[in-house]
Homo-oligomer: A and B are copies of this chain.
Amino acid sequence: MAASSSKTIVVQTTLGPQRFREMPNIDEYVEAHAERFEEELCQLLKIPSVSAAPEHQGDIRRACYWVADQFRRLGFVTEVVPTAGHPLVYAESPPVPDAATVLVYGHYDVQPPDPLEKWISPPFEPTERDGNLYARGATDDKGQMLTHIKSAEAWMEVEGRLPLNLKFVIEGEEEVGSAGLEAYLVEQAQRLACDCVVVSDGAQFAPGRPAITYGLRGIAYYELRLAGPKRDLHSGSFGGSVTNPANALARMLAALVDEQGRVRIPGFYDDVVPLTDRERKEFASLDFDEKAYFEEIGVRGATGEAGYTALERRWARPTCDVNGLWSGYQGEGAKTVLPATAGAKFSFRLVPNQDPEKISAALKPMLSELCPPGIEMELIDFHGSPGVLVPLDSPYIAAAARAIEHAFGRRPVFAREGGSIPIVTAFHETLEADVLLLGWGQDDDNTHSPNEKFCLADFHRGIKASARLWKELSEI
């Protein structure tokens, strides 16, 4: 395990496993070097590595080499790996035989900064205000990614080694789809083998409430195209005698969900891992303010699967959502058309252990059955992905919780997330490893918006938690 297959072999002294009961020296190192860590973060933030903008190609390279240089200085085996798009950085710490192996994922590319005029300070001139560092990429993901590099540095400087094997994959295409990384993952799966994956590219539950996100929903996404008459017809002359594809679409979509908000596809719930009592208690203990939530969204009430709270519905129950609808006349006024076609995009959020392929296999005959005479149906099956769930009783979760409590002074919240993070699913599926989602950011960090920020206290707590995490994971 953890033997380097890098082409550039760097001779390393290999060290056996060792116990690190307390880490006062490492915490002290992190505190003593806090100012320099911030300066280094600012160096990286000054590079406008906007992956979506061809004119920033050079900046992308600069940021990539800046990251690679961090690893080289630590004596890590380091590679800049070309992809069809922007290069990624792969690095490995000196091998520690018989110790656990952890893969850290992050990205050095950033979102475009537009609209520029809304920034209080320029996006690529990092500026501190009220304990926050404002810059594009501060939290997403340069600041969070750097916590794991700096924690590795602390270990290397204080102990001369890490307590386990670290592998880093830092890509430059996260904001544009991670195509290069996904190919790399499949190609290098053996080399990337690990016990767990650590990702810090998200937010805490609330200020002062650090979180471990232990579950993501998956997705199965479809487009349904219905074709009726070969041309639009006059709804007066023909209406009533011809099956209207827009009417048919409404019926078919409506039939997907029952009165209780449950999806009616046969077998849909068969593989659903139910919420445990512990989870429901954990969620309830979060004091999630439904009223404030709905107010923020701008609705006065809600529907959903009967028997579940809003948080349970978002995080841990499957759904059916229509994502798009189109047919006939969408302009001003009244046009008496019986449309030739109608279409919809719709998707199911899946929870573990639902299988998108099994859903597709049950959905197709159901829709065919619902499709009325006079309508030709085409179902496009977009690539689906299953949900991800790290069991709450996993030792990795327990280790991460201890590390976070050490650094943040508070037990983390155990949260799930309703969306998918395709790259997390890819790591989970390709490497068959549990993924620890340890977000050091805040919900109001303005990722993807003007005035992105990262709380500097969270930056430093993140480094300390990361350093502790290596110890905790090495002791499992």
Question: Residues of B contacting A302 with CB < 8 Å?
Answer: 241-243, 373-374
Contacting chain B: which of A105-113, A125-133, A148-156, A327-335?
A327-335
Report whether B420 and A219 are in contact in the complex, using a CB–CB cutoff of 8 Å.
no
A249-B325, A314-B237, A345-B328 known; A334+B297 contact, CB < 8 A: no
A243-B299, A419-B237 known; A347+B325 contact, CB < 8 A: no
Q: List 10 A-B pairs, minimum CB-CB distance, nearest first.
A: A236-B419, A230-B298, A301-B373, A246-B322, A254-B254, A250-B253, A240-B313, A240-B319, A324-B329, A324-B328
Report whether B243 and A334 are in contact in the complex, using a CB–CB cutoff of 8 Å.
no
A228-B299, A246-B322, A419-B236 known; A241+B336 contact, CB < 8 A: no
> Can you report 6 A-B residue pairs in the complex whose CB atoms are below 8 A from each other?
A236-B349, A240-B304, A241-B304, A246-B325, A324-B337, A325-B327
A 411-446 binary contact with B (CB < 8 Å = 1; else 0): 000000111100000000000000000000000000
Confirm or deny: A33 has a beta carbon within 8 angstroms of a beta carbon on chain B: no
A324-B327, A337-B323, A373-B303 known; A314+B243 contact, CB < 8 A: no
In this complex, the member of A217, A223, A255, A345 whose beta carbon has the largest number of chain B beta carbons within 10 angstroms is A345
Confirm or deny: A4 has a beta carbon within 8 angstroms of a beta carbon on chain B: no
Chain B, Cβ-Cβ closest to A349 = B239
Report whether B297 and A242 are in contact in the complex, using a CB–CB cutoff of 8 Å.
yes
A221-B334, A324-B246 known; A314+B418 contact, CB < 8 A: no
Question: Residues of B contacting A254 with CB < 8 Å?
Answer: 250-251, 253-255
Report whether B323 and A326 are in contact in the complex, using a CB–CB cutoff of 8 Å.
no
Question: Residues of B contacting A319 with CB < 8 Å?
Answer: 235, 239-240
CB contact between A241 and one of B230, B257, B311 (< 8 Å): that residue: B311
Question: Residues of B contacting A453 with CB < 8 Å?
Answer: none
In this complex, the member of A229, A235, A301 whose beta carbon has the largest number of chain B beta carbons within 10 angstroms is A235
CB distance from A298 to the nearest CB of B (A): 3
CB distance from A354 to the nearest CB of B (A): 14
Question: Residues of B contacting A251 with CB < 8 Å?
Answer: 250, 254, 257
Confirm or deny: A300 has a beta carbon within 8 angstroms of a beta carbon on chain B: yes
Task: List residues 367-397 of chain A with CB under 8 A from any CB of chain B.
Answer: 372-376, 382
What separation, in Å, do the CA atoms of A421 and B237 have in the docked complex? 11
CB contact between A322 and one of B244, B318, B320, B333 (< 8 Å): that residue: B244
Confirm or deny: A238 has a beta carbon within 8 angstroms of a beta carbon on chain B: yes
Task: List residues 274-331 of chain A with CB under 8 A from any CB of chain B.
Answer: 293-294, 297-305, 310-311, 313-314, 317-330
Confirm or deny: A123 has a beta carbon within 8 angstroms of a beta carbon on chain B: no
CB distance from A140 to the nearest CB of B (A): 15
